[in-house]
Structure 1
Amino acid sequence: MHYLKEKICYKEGGTSTNIDNENDENNAESKNINEYNNVEDAPTKGSENLGRGNDQAEDDKETNKRLRGNDDKDINNLGSKKIKQTDISEEDNKNDMEEKCDKLNIIDKNGEIEKSINYKNYAISNKKSEKENFYSEQKFEDLDICDALKKGLKELNFITLTEIQSKCIPHFLNGKDILGAAKTGSGKTLAFLVPSINILYNIKFLPKNGTGVLIISPTRELCLQIYQVCTGLCKYIPQTNGIIIGGVSRNEEKKKFIHGINILIATPGRLLDHMQNTKEFNYKNLLCLIIDEADRLLQIGFEEEINLIVKRLPKKRQTALFSATQTTKVESLIRLSLQKPIFIEVTTKIATVERLQQGYALVDEDKRFLLLFTFLKRNTSKKIMVFFNNCMSVQFYNDLLNYIDIPTFCIHGKKKQNQRLKSFNEFSAAKNAILLCTNVAARGLDIPNVNYIIQYDPPDDSKEYIHRVGRTCRGNDSAGSAIIFLMKHELKFLNYLKFYNIPVNQFSYDQKKLINIQSQMESIVTKNFHLHKMAREAFKSYLNGYVTYALKDVFDINNLNLMLTSKNFGLDTPPKVDLNLKFNAKKKKFK
């Protein structure tokens, strides 16, 4: 395959101004953090080698000059903090909205967060709080846990318990099953790690006894994150811990089972594989089962695996199940796995944290990438996550942005595990960086100091919106901003957010001050074989994803102008896409 060899360097003159009107900070070097499970090093940050041939060198020099010519000295703001509150609900009939939401299991009749579980069947340890209470008044040093665990907590700088921790840990230490509901970033990882580790320590559970604590989580990144925290907590404790996930050698994992893994963190697919095929895996002495992000596990299709896993485990055990949202499938899993659980809920009437500044940008169909490009150029000193709805879009925009000298990391489901881990670790350690990702990074990942969440592609529903924006404002003291890009026909999505009491303001920007690189972008994509192929595939994936949106009254494929939409991918003409939809002759939207 022939790639073009020489890169275009895009450098602007003038001073950058970000959405908060703050002065840009100096770029800081990224610090490496530990990688786990002996995952081999991946290629360095950036895209594939997108080379240029000599036959295009002169054209590229001219394109480079035009790119440099876009001076942004006169740009004041891309947006502002204080923008009018938008109320679109008057445009729609409220009863009609409630009916639609009810059919989609998004809200209940009172417009509050859905809870389809009948909680009166469970003991409830607390009531809802009207205010956001993140930390409790309780200290880890006051807990009835071993000194070795307290020492590990102190070294990791865990001093004060969060609300979910203060309510879960005592019940779990007393032998109760736990059903936990807390919004993202509430600190539930320690809520199950601390008591389960202490239980093994107190009974002197040894490696020869096999696995005593099993923690199941939906994604590899979440498992690695839990493993990282667990390793730190177990620094002064003799019990062993390990991780089994897809993308890592099964034979290497089998060797670990021979020596015994007391605390095992796993994704469900690989876990079930070892339960069925690895005789060295001893789980007959299991004491604690932790199911983390249960709603997410079921949503992405692990229902059968989870049921088979639970049925194989000893009946006499403690179980803790955590789920940010409660659905009918979660209720079925509760009946299968829990026995007379204590229901613990830490939430507020506002579904997102109060410190989070949230807004939307109304953008024309053909200006979405220009707005993103301008925003990224104005905020080079910030830490930014950009969400897309499909893997091909993430990879295409990652390759394109790196190609025009905007360094980005990317994480998506089709990326190799060692590359995903490297991107995650380097972005987490960086002071200022850009991560392009799919929803694989939306749940549970604890990435420090994220300044902005950009939802380039809107989420499928309000719940996914909440999890995406939950990647910023992690902890009690941090602040951040979240911006969702919406086209005019997508503005009804704001009504669904309002049912969750999510305050969303409109962020304004001057379209005349967007950095217009459209013609240069199309020239680059046309000339570069790799980028052109990626652009076409990403465009097709975007449309196929748009068809699958559940909120058809908001995300209707027939409202898209395909010619304008293709501009965001650097295409002058949209490729043919078979969506099995009827051609709209009046609007001429399909070629």
Structure 2
Amino acid sequence: MFFYLREFTGIFNPQVEDFAKLSFEKNEERKEKPVYISVDDGKSNATVEGLQQGYCVIPSDKRFLVLYAFLKKKQSKKVMVFFSSCSSVKFHAELLNFLQIECEDIHGKQKQQKRTTTFFNFCKAEKGILLCTNVAARGLDIPDVDYIVQYDPPDEPKDYIHRVGRTARGEKGKGSALLFLLPQELKFLIYLKAAKISLTEYEFNNKNVPNLQSHLENIVVENYFLNQSAKEAYRSYILAYNSHAMKDIFNVHDLDMKAVAASFCFKNPPKVNLDLESSASKRRKTRKVDGGARRHGINAANPYGWK
């Protein structure tokens, strides 16, 4: 009796390529070679048809207010919102539920059982809001998602593609994606365009933003648990921003910290421990261990950071 081993992957990057070379070079007498099959090479767009994609330029202090207004309108829809850190997901889920906008959350610091239960509940739901990190960006097949909101921009174009890939799937084949950008982050669109991703600008109208800032600040001041959660979320947002791969666009020193604090419902920046140099170095080492695709460098001509 003979057994044959076949290995398949839906993601092709330098690590997969290197692994394939090593696997087939172990026995030089083997005639088999890796087979690469693509259905996307001839496409003019890197994302699926039926996906409407847009971006909105929003100053830091208005970001949560815009998100709140958007989610309040879309409570009858199925929405996924991506954040850059686990703590940010946790805080925003707590705050939105406190404000009577029901939502679930998935992030890497939860126990597997909790993530699994939340995932299946959201899959079965006809409507709902799921806040998540990139842990939900790959491999999870969630049906009938109407909107993908990237509240915090992805690290690079391929992460954008994985995130928006959660919608416009299956028989329905339609969905919408919205990317939040700060004014100084607009250059990211050049990288997206080089990766065959075109977005339409949705104009930010300050008149449509609810006047809730003072109310939100009072809530966070008066509620001890929300206050602690907001501090940790604020801290983790800045650390995640500082570890961004694309420093020419996402530079932590370009952030208006008071405006950033306002987006976490603080009147003034809270006192938190920020060791930017060591945290950025630690995250870079983690990325090298976990994959390291960024080692090849990212630029407008090489938006994926591949060879």
TM-score range, shorter chain: 0.7 to 0.9
Instruction: Kindly state the Cα deviation for residue 418 of structure 1 after the two structures are TM-superposed.
Output: 1.4
Q: 1:320 aligned to 2:7?
A: yes
Could you tell me which of 5, 11, 16 is aligned with 1:330?
Answer: 16
After superposition, the Cα gap between the structure-2 partners of 1:503 and 1:401, relative to the gap in structure 1 and judged at 3 Å, is same
- Contact 2:216–2:265, Cα closer than 8 Å, also in 1: yes
Greater shift after overlay, 462-471 or 476-485? 476-485
Instruction: Kindly state the Cα deviation for residue 319 of structure 1 after the two structures are TM-superposed.
Output: 2.1
Q: What is the alpha-carbon distance in structure 1 between the residues aligned to residue 142 and residue 74 of structure 2?
A: 18
Could you tell me which of 25, 32, 35 is aligned with 1:342?
Answer: 35
Instruction: Kindly state the Cα deviation for residue 476 of structure 1 after the two structures are TM-superposed.
Output: 5.2
- Contact 2:242–2:276, Cα closer than 8 Å, also in 1: no
TM-score of the superposition, structure 1-length normalised?
Answer: 0.44
- Contact 1:388–1:457, Cα closer than 8 Å, also in 2: yes
- Contact 1:383–1:450, Cα closer than 8 Å, also in 2: yes
1:447 aligns with: 142
Instruction: Kindly state the Cα deviation for residue 552 of structure 1 after the two structures are TM-superposed.
Output: 0.7
- Contact 2:57–2:204, Cα closer than 8 Å, also in 1: no
- Contact 1:319–1:337, Cα closer than 8 Å, also in 2: no
SS of aligned partner of 1:342? coil
Q: What is the alpha-carbon distance in structure 1 between the residues aligned to residue 171 and residue 124 of structure 2?
A: 20
Instruction: Kindly state the Cα deviation for residue 502 of structure 1 after the two structures are TM-superposed.
Output: 1.0
1:537 aligns with: 232
Amino acid at match of 1:335: K
5 Å-filtered alignment, 1:45-194, equals: none
Percent of paired sites with the same residue: 46
Q: What is the alpha-carbon distance in structure 1 between the residues aligned to residue 199 and residue 275 of structure 2?
A: 33
Instruction: Kindly state the Cα deviation for residue 387 of structure 1 after the two structures are TM-superposed.
Output: 0.1
Instruction: Kindly state the Cα deviation for residue 580 of structure 1 after the two structures are TM-superposed.
Output: 4.1
- Contact 1:562–1:574, Cα closer than 8 Å, also in 2: yes
2:80 aligns with: 385
Amino acid at match of 1:541: S
Q: Which runs of 5+ in 1 are unaligned?
A: 1-202, 204-284, 288-316, 582-591
Q: What is the alpha-carbon distance in structure 1 between the residues aligned to residue 36 and residue 5 of structure 2?
A: 14
Could you tell me which of 89, 92, 98 is aligned with 1:394?
Answer: 89
Q: What is the alpha-carbon distance in structure 2 between the residues aligned to residue 580 and residue 473 of structure 1?
A: 38
Any idea what the Cα deviations from partners look like across 1:15-62, whole Å, max 9, x if unmatched? xxxxxxxxxxxxxxxxxxxxxxxxxxxxxxxxxxxxxxxxxxxxxxxx
SS of aligned partner of 1:319? coil
5 Å-filtered alignment, 1:145-294, equals: 287=3
Q: What is the alpha-carbon distance in structure 2 between the residues aligned to residue 406 and residue 578 of structure 1?
A: 31
After superposition, the Cα gap between the structure-2 partners of 1:518 and 1:325, relative to the gap in structure 1 and judged at 3 Å, is farther
Any idea what the Cα deviations from partners look like across 1:196-254, whole Å, max 9, x if unmatched? xxxxxxx8xxxxxxxxxxxxxxxxxxxxxxxxxxxxxxxxxxxxxxxxxxxxxxxxxxx
1:510 aligns with: 205
Any idea what the Cα deviations from partners look like across 1:90-127, whole Å, max 9, x if unmatched? xxxxxxxxxxxxxxxxxxxxxxxxxxxxxxxxxxxxxx
- RMSD (CA atoms): 1.6
After superposition, the Cα gap between the structure-2 partners of 1:580 and 1:381, relative to the gap in structure 1 and judged at 3 Å, is closer
Q: What is the alpha-carbon distance in structure 2 between the residues aligned to residue 422 and residue 379 of structure 1?
A: 23
SS of aligned partner of 2:61? coil
- Contact 1:388–1:438, Cα closer than 8 Å, also in 2: yes
Q: What is the alpha-carbon distance in structure 2 between the residues aligned to residue 483 and residue 507 of structure 1?
A: 9
Q: What is the alpha-carbon distance in structure 2 between the residues aligned to residue 575 and residue 320 of structure 1?
A: 50
Q: What is the alpha-carbon distance in structure 1 between the residues aligned to residue 267 and residue 55 of structure 2?
A: 28
1:578 aligns with: 274
Q: 1:555 aligned to 2:238?
A: no
Amino acid at match of 2:140: L
Q: What is the alpha-carbon distance in structure 1 between the residues aligned to residue 124 and residue 181 of structure 2?
A: 31
Task: Pick 1 or 2: higher relative contact order, CA cutoff 8 A, min separation 6.
Answer: 2
Q: What is the alpha-carbon distance in structure 2 between the residues aligned to residue 542 and residue 518 of structure 1?
A: 19
Q: 1:461 aligned to 2:156?
A: yes
Q: What is the alpha-carbon distance in structure 2 between the residues aligned to residue 524 and residue 513 of structure 1?
A: 22
Q: Which runs of 5+ in 2 are unaligned?
A: 25-31, 278-307
TM-score of the superposition, structure 2-length normalised?
Answer: 0.83
SS of aligned partner of 1:497? helix
Any idea what the Cα deviations from partners look like across 1:59-103, whole Å, max 9, x if unmatched? xxxxxxxxxxxxxxxxxxxxxxxxxxxxxxxxxxxxxxxxxxxxx
SS of aligned partner of 2:8? strand
Amino acid at match of 1:320: E
SS of aligned partner of 1:380? coil
Q: What is the alpha-carbon distance in structure 1 between the residues aligned to residue 113 and residue 209 of structure 2?
A: 37
Amino acid at match of 1:442: A
- Contact 1:381–1:432, Cα closer than 8 Å, also in 2: yes
Instruction: Kindly state the Cα deviation for residue 509 of structure 1 after the two structures are TM-superposed.
Output: 3.8
1:254 aligns with: none
Any idea what the Cα deviations from partners look like across 1:430-481, whole Å, max 9, x if unmatched? 1110000000000021101100000000000000000000000112542000
2:105 aligns with: 410
SS of aligned partner of 1:453? strand
Structure 1 residue ranges (4+ consecutive) displaced by more than 6 angstroms after TM superposition:
none
2:263 aligns with: 568
Amino acid at match of 1:391: C
Higher helix share: 2
Of structures 1 and 2, the larger Rg is shown by: 1
Q: What is the alpha-carbon distance in structure 2 between the residues aligned to residue 546 and residue 325 of structure 1?
A: 27
Greater shift after overlay, 427-436 or 416-425? 416-425
SS of aligned partner of 1:360? strand
